[in-house]
């Protein structure tokens, strides 16, 4: 089921027009109350997506750790914790958030190449499940802090398997040129020295290859490499009990069918089963990406004699940076339109301009040429004051937002079936300066 859909209005005065709904709530009703720009999430979609992964991998009963960096809103984390999710955190701040909502620390894994001593101590004191360790120096630091605290800490070695996930270079993490993880030779060296670390229990292997990954093949390649490494672990008396395959499960940004959890499961489950290990997963984008949209209002239309037409709106790259940073494609469409929202868009193809549509650039007000949400995009003709929805914005949208150009950040709204509530207030100018002395 699609939780954001256009419905035909059957009553006058808007008879026949298509209007965007989030579950059973008319999106314009939300905007009338909270203003723009606004992130709107479907609570139902978040749970549906979480359960789709859970069901697909049910034969292995994995520990699913929602990747907090994709969307760290407290209400969203709490919704997932209540559904049984664990959490993948990458900073003391993310750990603080999940502890704040009462998440079970024994379902928290901690990744990242540069965990500092304060973060490590904080995580150990709060009894998290496992650290995903990214270098021998980090391992030594964790060992030292654990020993000081008189604890033995469970860790997984994050392996860099040198597998190409065939995604954007800036979101590729498991190739040899990337800063993440430990190569197999160095990991072997760590195994040989494992006895040196009395504060550490080496219990897992972790990989995160990149994101989004559109086929199962990179996971298969990486799992085969991990499986080959297991005898070396055994040889040094180290029993690997957990395999963590990270995140990266794709979503459709264009309406096209893409690989789904059941497809990943079909290829991944047999390989993990062979190892006899328990599975850990760290999905972020799959759970929240298509469960959220960003709503913006058109401030001005600007046409140039060079033949360009700009739709200037009140959201900007500081609200959603993915198009600027990765040339990411986010479908964009007016909240109300007589032109039906296309089922699929083909970003690589030359735009076809149908009746009632035109080619425009959808841009924000920030003083950067890269502040563009959609370039040369076919859109129904819009006018100043109209509302636009930018789709697939639930993951790495608000969580990567900033105050650049001293712009207060957008509010976040959660829809639950028939009703909606604000889960993060819109920032004010006062908030912008509140920490400055």
Which CB sits closer to ligand LLP, 34 or 108? 108
Are 4 and 21 a contacting pair, CB within 8 Å?
yes
Which of 289, 364 has the CB closer to ligand LLP? 289
Instruction: Determine the angle formed by the axes of helices 217-235 and 261-275, rounding to 10 degrees.
Output: 20
Closer to ligand LLP by Cβ: residue 36 or 171: 171
| Tokens found for residue 388 | 């636009």
Q: Does residue 67 touch ligand LLP according to CB under 6 A? A: yes
- Going by C-beta distance under 8 Å and a sequence separation of 6 or more, which residues neighbour residue 388? 295, 296, 297, 298, 311, 313, 332, 333, 334, 335, 362, 382
Does 86 help bind ligand LLP (rule: CB under 6 A)?
no
57 binds ligand LLP (CB under 6 A): no
Compute CA distances 135 → 156, 195, 330, whole Å: 11, 17, 36
The stretch among 77-85, 232-240, 244-252, 292-300 that binds ligand LLP (CB under 6 A) is: 244-252
Residue 171 binding ligand LLP, by CB under 6 A: yes
In the annotation, is 367 catalytic? yes
- Of 77, 233, 367, 429, which is the active-site residue? 367
Helix (H) or strand (E) holding 111: none
Structure tokens at 358: 């035109």
Binding mask 307-346 for ligand LLP (x = CB under 6 A): ---------------x------------------------
Please, which residue, 248 or 292, has the CB nearer to ligand LLP? Answer: 248
212 touches ligand LLP by CB under 6 A: yes
- Whether residue 109 contacts residue 67, with contact meaning beta carbons closer than 8 Å, is answered with no
Check residue 396 for interaction with ligand LLP (CB under 6 A): yes
Question: Closest Cα to residue 371, out of 304, 332, 299, 313?
Answer: 313
CB of 280 to ligand LLP, least distance (A): 10
Number of residues that bind ligand LLP (CB under 6 A): 21
Query: Are 318 and 401 contacting, i.e. CB atoms less than 8 angstroms apart?
Result: yes
219 binds ligand LLP (CB under 6 A): no
User: Least distance (Å) from ligand LLP to the CB of residue 376?
Assistant: 22
Query: Which of 65, 382 has the CB closer to ligand LLP?
Result: 65
Q: Using the 8-state DSSP alphabet, how is residue 47 labeled?
A: H
- Does residue 246 belong to the site contacting ligand LLP (CB under 6 A)? yes
Q: Which stretch binds ligand LLP (CB under 6 A): 64-72, 98-106, 221-229, 337-345?
A: 64-72
**292 touches ligand LLP by CB under 6 A:** no
Q: Is 111 in the site for ligand LLP (CB under 6 A)?
A: yes
Q: In angstroms, give the least distance from the CB of 129 to ligand LLP.
A: 14
Phi, psi of 372 (to 5 degrees): -130, 125
Contact criterion met (CB below 8 Å) for 283 and 64? yes
State yes or no: residue 107 binds ligand LLP (CB under 6 A): no
Q: Residue 140: CB partners within 8 Å, gap ≥ 6?
A: 197
Residue 225: partners with Cβ closer than 8 Å, 6 or more residues away = 159, 161, 163, 184
285 touching ligand LLP, by CB under 6 A? yes
From the CB of residue 374, how many other CB atoms can be counted at a distance below 10 Å?
21
Residue 284 interacts with ligand LLP (CB under 6 A): yes or no: yes
Q: Which stretch binds ligand LLP (CB under 6 A): 26-34, 185-193, 278-286, 379-387?
A: 278-286
Closest distance of CB 181 from ligand LLP, Å: 9
Q: DSSP assignment of 30-42, as one string?
A: HHHHH-SSEEEEE
**For 336, phi and psi rounded to 5 degrees?**
-125, 135
Q: How far is the CB of 245 from ligand LLP (least distance, A)?
A: 9
Report helix angle 261-275 to 43-56, nearest 10: 40
Question: Is 294 an interacting residue with respect to ligand LLP (CB under 6 A)?
Answer: no
Minimum Å gap between C-beta 14 and ligand LLP is 35
State the residues that interact with ligand LLP by CB under 6 A: 67, 69-70, 88, 111, 171, 208, 211-212, 246-249, 282-286, 322, 395-396
Which residues are designated catalytic? 367
């Amino acid at each position: 089921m699609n939780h954001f859909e256009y419905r035909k209005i059957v009553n006058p005065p808007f008879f026949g027009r298509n209007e965007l709904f989030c579950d059973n709530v008319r999106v314009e009703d939300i905007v009338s109350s909270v203003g723009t720009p606004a992130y709107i999430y479907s609570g139902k979609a978040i749970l549906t997506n979480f359960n789709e992964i859970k069901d697909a991998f049910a034969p292995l009963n994995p520990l699913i750790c929602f990747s907090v960096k994709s969307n760290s809103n407290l209400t969203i984390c709490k919704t997932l914790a209540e559904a049984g999710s664990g959490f993948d955190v990458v900073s003391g701040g993310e750990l603080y958030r999940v502890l704040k909502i009462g998440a079970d620390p024994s379902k928290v894994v901690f990744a990242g190449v540069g965990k500092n001593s304060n973060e490590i101590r904080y995580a150990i004191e709060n009894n998290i499940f496992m650290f995903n360790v990214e270098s021998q120096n980090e391992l030594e630091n964790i060992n030292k802090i654990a020993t000081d605290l008189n604890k033995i800490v469970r860790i997984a070695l994050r392996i860099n398997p040198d597998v190409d996930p065939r995604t954007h270079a800036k979101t590729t993490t498991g190739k040899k040129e990337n800063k993440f993880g430990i190569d197999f030779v160095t990991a072997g060296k760590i195994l040989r020295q494992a006895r040196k670390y009395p504060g550490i229990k080496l219990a897992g292997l972790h990989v995160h290859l990149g994101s989004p990954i559109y086929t199962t093949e990179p996971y298969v390649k990486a799992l085969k490499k991990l499986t080959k490494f297991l005898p070396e672990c055994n040889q040094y008396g180290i029993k690997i009990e957990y395999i963590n395959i990270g995140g990266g499960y794709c979503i459709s940004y264009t309406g096209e069918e893409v690989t789904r959890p059941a497809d990943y499961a079909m290829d991944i489950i047999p390989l993990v089963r062979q190892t006899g290990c328990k599975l850990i997963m760290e999905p972020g984008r799959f759970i929240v990406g298509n469960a959220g949209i960003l709503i913006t209002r058109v401030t001005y239309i600007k046409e140039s004699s060079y033949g360009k037409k700009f739709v200037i709106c009140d959201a900007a790259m500081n609200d959603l940076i993915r198009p600027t940073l990765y040339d990411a494609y986010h479908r964009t469409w007016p909240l109300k339109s007589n032109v039906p929202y296309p089922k699929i868009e083909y970003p690589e193809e030359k735009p076809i301009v149908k009746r009632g549509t035109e080619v425009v650039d959808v841009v924000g007000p920030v003083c950067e040429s890269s502040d563009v949400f959609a370039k040369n995009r076919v859109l129904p003709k819009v006018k100043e004051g109209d509302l636009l929805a930018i789709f697939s914005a639930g993951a790495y949208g608000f969580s990567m937002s900033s105050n650049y150009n001293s712009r207060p950040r957008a509010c976040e709204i959660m829809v639950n079936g028939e009703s909606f509530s604000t889960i993060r207030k819109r920032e004010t100018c006062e908030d912008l300066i509140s920490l400055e002395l």
